Structure 1
Amino acid sequence: MPRELVVVGAPTSAGSYAPGQEAAPRVLRELGLIDQLRAAGRRVRDAGDGPVQVWSPDRHHPHVQNLAAVTRAVAAVAEQVAAALEADADVLVLGGNCTVALGVMSALTAHDPDAGLLYVDRHFDLNTPQSTTDGALDWMGLAHALDLPDAAEPLVSALGHRPLLTPAQLFYLGVEYAAATPWEREQAEHLGLRWSSSAALAAEPAAQATRALAALPPGDLAVHLDVDVLDFTDAPLAESTDGRNTGPSLDSLRAALRIACRDPRFRVLSIGELNPARAAGHPETLTRFVACLRNALRPPPRAPWSAGCAAPA
């Protein structure tokens, strides 16, 4: 019997470049995600949403915008995920931006210190308020998880312990190395971070997912998906529109997610950077994405009874 699946909404774009991602949990529910998961054979409980936060320009803190709001959203995700894990449930977190992964890992590492994170993203998210001028925390999340120099202290301190993650607990899937800042490249090399490329994920999604999972520790597993890993032409979903005609299709991603979410260590899938407005010209993309989540989280088929076993009464 598969565990109950608790759905948590994190409707925040506070750490983003612009509004939009805060609508993702509502839109995915309206498209029937909960019913689709139940139809796939999961027992589902919708735990509702954390605080609704809409990005606005933070002119007082231009290099670390909306830090207090982001920290509140991370804490809310951590609280809801911790409650679900305590009840022995799996969790689906609907973001919001990629800072939701910090809340997930704050809860998961408290539950199992040997937990690992498969981070499916076009970017390393290793920037800090000092390494970039745009001030958006959604591509700084893992810099805070790894407690890099010049990370924003209030956010690092809110994560429970430091560093929240070690390099051995992390594997990136789908990175576009050319999109990394010089600081990110330096830190990735210095820390010995493990990653596979966007092109490799597009070409061999199942093999790359299997390789990444084999490199992670034996504890509980979280999978974080930033939808900007996708080829934006195939699946216009992400806040960032840079990934045109590169990266995996939604069908390729589906194959990788299915393997990751069937891993016996799996406990949490979180979704980040989905801006429903991006699909306005092709709304069927959102329906396809809901089907992708259903496929990833449906229970594995039951093993057939062998000829020497009696059927259950």
Structure 2
Amino acid sequence: MNDKISVIGVPMDLGADRRGVDMGPSAIRYAGIAKKLERLGFDLKDTGNINVPQPEMYVEAGKYKYLEQVVKANEQLAEAVSKEIGDGRFPLVLGGDHSIAIGTIAGVAKHVQNLGVIWFDAHGDLNTGETSPSGNIHGMSLAACLGYGHERLVSLGGFFPKLKPENIVIIGARDLDPGERALIKEIGLNVYTMHEIDKLGMARVMEEAIKQVSRETDGVHLSLDLDGLDPHDAPGVGTPVIGGISYRESHLALEILAEADVLVSAEFVEVNPILDRENATAQVAVELIGSAFGEKLL
């Protein structure tokens, strides 16, 4: 793994249309992300935050809420991610809601021609304006990267699609909308629901997932939504779903991923301090980041 890491904060809540998640980057920083990575020996640079407008400035509704503002923020993010990779650094993006994956992946895909993605999430984020029950873009980010949805989201960065279905694995899904289930079946997307995790065990799930996303790809991006974990372990998220991945299973998954040494970028999203208990979810995010970057007990 690249030993030069650039932290990029994205205080985005427009994609979720719920206040609080915009404070996620600050919460993760406060929980000690810099000390964690520096203690592991990484050359760390914090680039600060992308500028994201406040939702109170706009009255927005429809199939794609805050579309213009989400697009502009993600364009900035894509440029920032691309710059750091161009400078030979590993981009570590802190959210913010999961709509920021559109910008992160657009920036990475400019440099990694055939990108694999491991998507830890309780949800599929595979809706479009036609299938979304809410119009919230954080539930459309993976679909946009695959080339489905509004043209402004799909073509962000000047090219599309960013990803191929065979190079993606979703892990931890347990809340899928009808339109998402239909798209998964249509394109043959690899999804390990909690059923598969319980049945196979996390070690086998990760071994199979890494094999899938590493096959004929040039690098792997990790997109980790904290609501992939069970709310007992990560209470500070906007869309919690009971019955999720445990704290220990999450660490095991990222430890196995670190051992595979395939990551070229990562993002940790949906930490909402307003809904949290004593910044516990941000602290979990920091601990998981440590595991993803090779931290071990011995």
Task: Give TM-score scaled by structure 1 length.
Answer: 0.87
- Counterpart of 2:289 in structure 1 is 293
| 1:173 counterpart = 2:163 | no
Residue aligned with 1:111, SS:
coil
1:37 positional shift? 1.1
1:235 positional shift? 2.0
Task: Evaluate the alpha carbon distance shift between residue 35 and residue 240 of structure 1 in structure 2; reply closer, same or farther with a 3 A threshold.
Answer: same
CA distance in 2, matches of 1:36, 1:208: 27
Check conservation: 2:171, 2:192, Cα contact below 8 A: yes
Deviations 1:271-297, CA, capped at 9 Å, x for gaps: 1211122223x5444323322222321
Deviations 1:71-97, CA, capped at 9 Å, x for gaps: 112112211111111122212100111
Deviations 1:168-227, CA, capped at 9 Å, x for gaps: 221111111xx2111111111010111111243367222211210101133111000011
Match runs of 1:29-178 below 5 Å: 29-56=29-56, 59-148=59-148, 151-176=149-174
Match runs of 1:159-308 below 5 Å: 159-176=157-174, 179-201=175-197, 204-216=201-213, 217=215, 218-241=217-240, 243-244=241-242, 246-280=243-277, 282-298=278-294
**Equivalenced residues, count:** 295
Task: Evaluate the alpha carbon distance shift between residue 140 and residue 285 of structure 1 in structure 2; reply closer, same or farther with a 3 A threshold.
Answer: closer
- Counterpart of 1:311 in structure 2 is none
1:57 positional shift? 9.3
Task: Evaluate the alpha carbon distance shift between residue 283 and residue 24 of structure 1 in structure 2; reply closer, same or farther with a 3 A threshold.
Answer: closer
Gaps of 5+ in 2: none
1:228 positional shift? 1.0
Residue aligned with 1:222, SS:
strand
Q: Alignment identity in percent? A: 25
Gaps of 5+ in 1: 303-313
- Counterpart of 1:27 in structure 2 is 27
CA distance in 2, matches of 1:285, 1:155: 29
The letter of the residue matching 2:254 is L
The CA RMSD measured in Å over matched residues stands at 2.2
Residue aligned with 2:197, SS:
helix
Residue aligned with 2:169, SS:
strand
CA distance in 2, matches of 1:147, 1:222: 17
CA distance in 2, matches of 1:80, 1:214: 29
The letter of the residue matching 1:296 is A
Check conservation: 2:236, 2:280, Cα contact below 8 A: no
1:2 positional shift? 4.5
The letter of the residue matching 1:237 is G
CA distance in 1, matches of 2:230, 2:271: 13
Check conservation: 1:117, 1:222, Cα contact below 8 A: yes
CA distance in 2, matches of 1:227, 1:284: 11
Task: Give TM-score scaled by structure 2 length.
Answer: 0.91
Deviations 1:32-91, CA, capped at 9 Å, x for gaps: 211121012211111111013444596554221111111112112211111111122212
CA distance in 1, matches of 2:284, 2:132: 34
Task: Evaluate the alpha carbon distance shift between residue 94 and residue 44 of structure 1 in structure 2; reply closer, same or farther with a 3 A threshold.
Answer: same
Larger Rg: 1
- Counterpart of 1:3 in structure 2 is 3
Check conservation: 1:41, 1:299, Cα contact below 8 A: no
Check conservation: 2:102, 2:145, Cα contact below 8 A: yes
Task: Evaluate the alpha carbon distance shift between residue 52 and residue 20 of structure 1 in structure 2; reply closer, same or farther with a 3 A threshold.
Answer: same
1:139 positional shift? 0.4
Check conservation: 1:37, 1:44, Cα contact below 8 A: yes
Check conservation: 1:201, 1:247, Cα contact below 8 A: no
